[in-house]
Each structure stands twice: as structure tokens, then as C-alpha cells.
Amino acid sequence: MDTIFYKDFFSQEEIEQIKAVVQHELETRVLVNNEDFTFIDTNNIVEQNYLGRIVMQGVPLPKNIVDKVSGLLSEAWKFDVNPDLVGITYNMWSNKYGEPELVSHIDKNTLGLIFDYQLESNTSWTLGVAETPYPMNDNDMICLYPTRDYHWRAPKKFKDGEYVSLLFFEYAGVGLSPDLDEDRSRLAIAAREKASQL
Ligand SMILES: [Fe+2]
């Protein structure tokens, strides 16, 4: 599948809008722990120690922000019926919550398409799709097919205080089923090792 990279996606004003909503959610939700990656919880902040992150599902971003991302579907989606937005999820990765790690994998759900948007960071953490590493900066975004494209983060040991925060804009529609493939998996794992930031 085609991976599309969007450099410097939102305007400064839009970024401020997003950060205000995220900040409000972070201040008003309760932190709970849930290690099950299939969880659905749009009320709390969920801590996942095995991945080294916190997650907030159902971030209520304003319409202009959502529309700007959804407006990309016509170029990003390769099938007939446009998928529906099913979730906007905030993630923050830091060693406060465990050792951040994302091994090469494809998602085992029915998500069709995901836009990974890097909101804020104070360190670099390369994102990989299949064999291609993408060094991400704040305000960069990548579109991928998570049940088809093996994706990963470079091996990296986060120092105290380092963090990377992201938003996932998730779209489902025709429900692409997971497409496991040993050769593609092996190539993605090798690319991840090569991209190590240790
Ligand atoms: Fe994934």
C-alpha cells in the first residue's frame, strides 16, 4: 500500500486548537491502567506499561481539524467506498509509563486507514512503515494501512523526561482484514533493527 507523508500539516492556529483540547482532556480525565490493547475507553486516560505510553481515546477535536484530515481520504484511500472516522486517539510515549517500544506488527483489527500525526516531542523517534524509516518531526503526519503495512518504531531507550505525543485518526469502512506475510514481516524487522536509535 502507498504510505503518504505529510510535512508540517496543521497551521500554528490549528495546533493551538488541538493542544487546548488535549490539555483539557488530560486535566479532566482519570488515569487508569489497562494492558489489553483491544480496550475501548473514551472516559479515562489509559496507562499501558508494556508499551510505555498513555492513551486517550475519543479526543473531541473541533470539526475544522477533523475535516482537514478526512479531506485527504480521496487521495489516500484506494478502494471504492470512503471509510468512516471511527476514532481519534491521543498517545504519549515516555519512560514514566514503562519502556516505550513498538515492534514491527500489523494491526489485528478491521481498521482501514490511519493517519499518525506527531503533536509534540522533545526527542526523535523514527517511525517505520514496511522497510522505510520516517524520521518524524512535530506536525508531520503519515498515512498507512495498519492491517496491511507492517509498522514499527526504531529501537530507542528514552531518557528521563523525553516524550513523544501523537494523535491517531482512525478510519474503518470496508474492513481490510489483516494480511500477515512472513517475507514482508522479516524485511520490516530487519529495517527496524537497522534504524535503531540506541
Ligand atoms: Fe499498529
pLDDT digits (tens, 9 = 90+) for 2-26: 799 999 999 999 999 999 999 999 9
pTM, to two decimals: 0.95
Cα 171 to ligand 1 centre (Å): 13
Multiple choice CATH, 4-143+157-195, 2.60.120.620, 3.90.1300.10, 3.30.565.10, 3.40.800.10: 2.60.120.620
Report yes or no: 92 and 165 within 8 Å, Cβ to Cβ. yes
Distance 24 CA to ligand 1 centre (A): 26
66-96 pLDDT, tens digit each: 999 999 998 888 877 778 899 999 999 999 9
Q: Separation of 147 CA from ligand 1 center, angstroms?
A: 8
CA of 105 to the centre of ligand 1 (A): 6
pLDDT in tens, 25-45: 999 999 999 988 788 999 999
Rounded distance from Cα 168 to ligand 1 centre (Å): 10
Contact indicator for 189, 133 with CB cutoff of 8 Å: no
Q: Compute the distance from residue 146 Cα to the ligand 1 centre, in Å.
A: 6
Residue pair 25/90 in contact (Cβ under 8 Å)? The answer is yes
